[in-house]
Amino acid sequence: MLVAAAQLSPIFLDREATVERAIGAIHEASARGARLIVFPEAFIPGYPMWVWFIPSGDTHGLRALYVELLRQAVSVPDETTERLCRAARDARMFVVIGVNERNREASNTSLFNSVLFIDADGHLLGTRRKLVPTSGERLVHAMGDGSTFRTYDTALGRLGALICWENYMPLARHALYCGGLDVLATPTWDRGEPWISTLRHVAKEGRVYVVACGNAVRIADVPDRLAFKALIEPDDDGWVNPGDSAIVDPDGKFVTGPCHGVQEIVYGEIDPDKVTGPRWQLDVGGHYSRPDVFRLLVNRERQEQMAMTDESGAAFRAVPDPSSPHSR
């Protein structure tokens, strides 16, 4: 079964153009015979890389960029999600894509670092919000809750995602393993060592396929109109982030990659039997766990900003719960 990682640059801070690039990649991968495509972290409308270059006290600069990012962000659902779902349906592809997501259920002016899961019938299976924004990302992104933390039953096997440094959260990994994870998507901004070693570790620990998709961004991909561009120090070849996307098998061996310093769609074959076979030796979500000694509690309750009541006093949500019957 062929899968793909879209190691591409967004059209930075341009939602419509980035969606067009994503749709083109979906159809290109489908034409090659791929069944799944994974896009980078915060791909639409671009990872807020300025948090690593602009001092946190530069309120004026950070506010201006936040306004622009919010304006180009994704609400779930909206026209952007509908277009992506149509593309997945037309291409008969499973899609995992990183977005900057507005909190439409409350103020509509906070952002989450999220991934969308779309099936080959064009259904939006669900949205995963990153649990903990890392370091400078906290200047932009809010924290997700456990209500979106799950795996999805698909024709590819159980599909889940950990976003960038969530892969360093042992309990988050274990929760997905216990959810029957077979294929792990890891959209990321990270690259190089030890990140590449992390991908191999996670694959072997969980006996899962890891489809890791990094942001491949050159300095030329950052618009000249953005003042923080002058603060970026690319490498000698002009890369701000060289990507390092990879596909890793359940024995921790590379199927493809890591692919360094190129903007392209990366492909690799996965075999479901290579998930179950190695678990004869090690199944950390099954026989290799010790629930009599260690036990994990996952709070899947949605954390509401506000609840409404009707005339009887019964509480109900202001916005419908997006939880999907396809997940567990």
- Give how far the C-alpha of residue 36 lies from the chain's centroid of Cα atoms, to the nearest Å: 14
Residues whose CB falls within 8 Å of the CB of residue 302, separated by 6 or more in sequence, listed in order: 145, 147, 321, 323
Q: Can you tell me the distance from the alpha carbon of 318 to that of 313, in angstroms, rounded to the nearest whole number? A: 14
Residues whose CB falls within 8 Å of the CB of residue 83, separated by 6 or more in sequence, listed in order: 19, 23
Nearest residue to 223 via CA among 10, 66, 57? 10
Exactly one of 85, 101, 164, 213 is catalytic; name it.
164
Active site residue 253: no
Tokens standing for residue 310 = 């009707």
- Write the burial class of residue 121 (CB in 10 Å: 0-12 exposed, 13-18 middle, 19+ buried): exposed
Exactly one of 41, 105, 137, 166 is catalytic; name it.
41
Q: Can you tell me the distance from the alpha carbon of 94 to that of 117, in angstroms, rounded to the nearest whole number? A: 8
Active site residue 274: no
Tokens standing for residue 272 = 């479901």
CB 206, CB 161: distance < 8 Å: no
Exactly one of 130, 204, 213, 259 is catalytic; name it.
130
What residues are annotated to the active site?
41, 130, 164
